[in-house]
Chain A
Amino acid sequence: MSDQVDVDQRRMHLVAVGLNHRSAPVEVRERLAFGPARLGAALHELRDRPPIAEVAILSTCNRAEIYTAATDAGLGEREVVRFLSEFHELDPAAVEPHLYHLADDGVARHLFRVAAGLDSMILGEGQILAQVKGALQAANEAGTARTLLHELFQRGLHLGKLARSETEIHRGAVSISSAAVDLARTVFGDLRGRQALVVGAGEMSEQTLKHLVDQGVASVVVANRTHQRAVELATRYQGEAITFDDFPAHLVTCDIIISSSAAPHPILTVEKLRGPLAARRGQPLFIVDIAVPRDVEPAVADLEDVYLFDIDDLSTVAQRYRSEREREVTKVEALVEAETARFGAWLEARGSTSLVVELRERVEAMRDAELDRWLRRLPDLEAAEQEVIRQMMRSFANKLLHGPLTAIRRQAGTPRESAQADLVRRLFDLDGGEEEA
């Protein structure tokens, strides 16, 4: 039997060591991140360090977590910390204060919370689910995730999907820019084919524009006092750059206006909009004013078929969605606890299954060895006679094992399971201390 199988058949512990956006600042997180280019090497290197048998690494901009299955939890934990500092060439003393250590149920609970989005910077965000899937995929490709981690991650992915289908943890926009896009969708539904006018090429404008383009906005026109910046932004989003003075000419044709100029007074007034609105004949106009001081005269909000939202409105929307998500946390925590309990039960059952397999293989190996030895001494036996003897030995071994195997299965998941497993191991010498010569 190979070493790998021997390791698998012993009692395994889940161990996780990591850091996230709560435990470590970005300067530390970026130094401990595992880029795609080095991930495979890291997985192999850590898997080759006893007592670690399985490894998966979840590395995102907000976390770097190492999940392992090891035959000794304490040793495994120390080995992971040593690996982290060696692999990233960092002083262990500098890393250690930012790390959290988890074992067994704690590992499962943590991964399930991560997959459900409870541990994310933006509560309930969906990107983490793809990242968990990616971590499992990388470990599978490297061959470092076997039964235990595979089961753990699969259950994590299942729970992540369940949390998002059974609760509202992922609903609603929680950033200013995504809130603006959400509101635009309540006016236009599908944003494909819509035209956006961006006045002012600031960072917030770009974020909002990026969300709009992701939603399929067809054309983008950018106006800025510094024309070069308008050109740069327009180029990034395959749009058209115009001079700042030309933007009123586009008020008739655009559907969405994002305004964030640094003008000290409103640049979009009721007076300026009257003509374009008459020409629009009731076509809805959605205006997002994220400038401070405001770019759009507040009275514009009273114009028919114009929907104006300023930075405070968008903040209120985002905050409201955040509060709604927080109300869902209790429901998701309940799902996490239920899944953790199920995983714990699976782990216990797997322990007894492993013992059953181990015991059966031990007895069968002894049986086959004895059969071969004795049959070599009886070379004159016919094939049919040899088969009868083999059949008799198989039947004898099965009858001998029936009692112990039934007892092991019956005790699975009970408080006596561990003591009984130790007894069986000693009785049948499963740990190989008194291996026959």
Chain B
Amino acid sequence: MTPVCVAAETVALLAYLAAAVLYPQRLIRPDSRLTRHAHWGLVIGASLQGLGLLAHLGHAGSEALFGQYANASFVFVLLCVGGLLWLEARTERPALGAFLAPVIFLVVLLTLFEAHTQAPVIRNPWFVAHIVLTLLAYACFGAAFCLAAAYLVHDGYLKRKRVERLALLPPLRVADRACHTAVAIGLPLFTLGLAVGAAFLVSVRAPIDAKVVLALVTWLLYAAYLALRLGRGWRGRRLHWILVVAFLVVLLNLVAARHRLELPPPAVAVVSR
């Protein structure tokens, strides 16, 4: 890695850390001027991380585009940051990042532990499609997690009559409907991503590992959420806890992605040009 790349990623990590610390403060001290700028931590972090990756690609060449976990994580982070800022602007609720900013920081931190380690170079189009679809689905699940957490915290504020904080988070019904929308978009993408991934695994005769199992658990949880909401008419706290748990499994899966796929030697060499 070049010094420019290291510097950019270090400052990016600090910016994400600032956002992860300041955003939750919005829920605790809504009047604090400093916390009003928490979103800049995410914007600066994502910009610098992007610059760092570009510098690295310029140095290492296009091979690095496909072969590094850092790139996939960055796409995930970028989608989450963009989605979060859009959600905050749309709902006019400035504290939604309190739930997602710490997650973004953790993902970036985990990525840096294995920054730019070379993963198997897999240019199989099925595999690329699987990654793209899964990352898009994860970003939707990230938004759903953020809104579900907001629902649960808002519910707590209402129960404890902390009315001065109610304006920070979207109304319960708005959060509930937005969660549903995010999952309704994310689950089909995830299903498609899983199907494509399964086709790829079958084609290379790879064994089923923990990551595959976690992906199936994730799918089951989000499918259960939709089935309960649409089929049984469920609403309320319990339904939103499902989304929180489901996203924790997604994060576990992202950690699992750091471990190399246990592919047999010929599979690693599969390169589709």
Contacts and interface: CB of A to CB of B under 8 A. Distances in A.
Nearest to A255: B173
B4 interface: no
B174 to A, nearest CB: 4
B109 interface: no
A170 to B, nearest CB: 14
A307 B238 contact: no
Contacts of B166: 183, 186
Contacts of B37: none
Interface string B149-185: 0000011001101011011001111100000000000
A72 interface: no
Q: Is the interface of B mostly helix, strand, loop or mixed?
A: helix
Interface string B205-216: 000000000000
B237 interface: yes
A85 interface: no
Interface stretch (B63-71, B79-87, B227-235): B227-235
A189 B171 contact: yes
Contact of B163 (A188, A189, A317): A317
Contacts of B238: 282, 304
Candidate in A189, A304, A317 with the most chain B CB atoms within 10 angstroms: A189
B92 to A, nearest CB: 11
Contact of B171 (A188, A304, A320): A188
A407 interface: no
Q: Interface size class for chain B? A: 20 to 34
Contacts of A307: 158-159
Contacts of B171: 185-189
Given A282-B234, A282-B238, A188 B159 contact: no
Given A187-B158, A188-B171, A281 B233 contact: yes
B236 A283 contact: yes
Interface centre among B161, B164, B237, by most chain A C-beta atoms within 10 angstroms, is B161
A301 interface: yes
A313 B161 contact: yes
Contact of A183 (B155, B163, B173, B235): B163
A189 B235 contact: no
Contact of A304 (B174, B233, B237): B237
A305 B235 contact: yes
B239 interface: yes
A311 to B, nearest CB: 13
A126 interface: no
Nearest to B165: A186
Given A284-B173, A320-B163, A320-B164, A186 B235 contact: no
A284 B161 CA distance: 16
A181 B167 CA distance: 14
Contacts of B239: 282
A281 B239 CA distance: 10
Contacts of B172: 186-188, 284
Interface in A273-287: 280-284
A304 B163 contact: no
Interface in A282-336: 282-284, 301, 304-305, 307, 309, 313, 316-317, 320
A189 B233 contact: no
Interface residues of A, number: 20
- Consensus secondary structure, chain A interface: helix
Nearest to B163: A317
B18 to A, nearest CB: 27
Contacts of B161: 309, 313, 316
Given A183-B163, A186-B158, A304-B237, A281 B232 contact: yes
Contact of A189 (B164, B173, B232, B236): B173
Contact of B173 (A187, A309, A316, A317): A187
A280 to B, nearest CB: 8
Contact of B174 (A183, A189, A309): A189
Nearest to A277: B236
A305 B172 CA distance: 10
Contact of B236 (A183, A305, A313, A316): A305
A307 B156 CA distance: 10
B121 to A, nearest CB: 48
B236 to A, nearest CB: 2
Interface string A143-156: 00000000000000
A338 B166 CA distance: 34
B158 A282 contact: no
Given A281-B234, A281-B236, A301 B170 contact: no
Interface of B: 154-155, 158-159, 161, 163-164, 166-167, 170-174, 232-239
Given A186-B163, A281-B232, A305-B235, 12 more contacts: A183-B158, A183-B166, A186-B166, A186-B167, A186-B172, A187-B173, A189-B171, A281-B235, A282-B238, A284-B236, A309-B161, A316-B161
Interface of A: 183, 185-189, 280-284, 301, 304-305, 307, 309, 313, 316-317, 320
22 contacts: A185-B171, A186-B167, A187-B172, A187-B173, A189-B170, A189-B173, A189-B174, A280-B235, A281-B232, A281-B233, A281-B235, A281-B236, A282-B234, A282-B236, A282-B238, A283-B235, A283-B236, A301-B159, A305-B237, A307-B159, A309-B161, A320-B164
The 6 closest A-B pairs by CB, nearest first: A282-B236, A189-B171, A282-B235, A305-B236, A189-B174, A186-B166
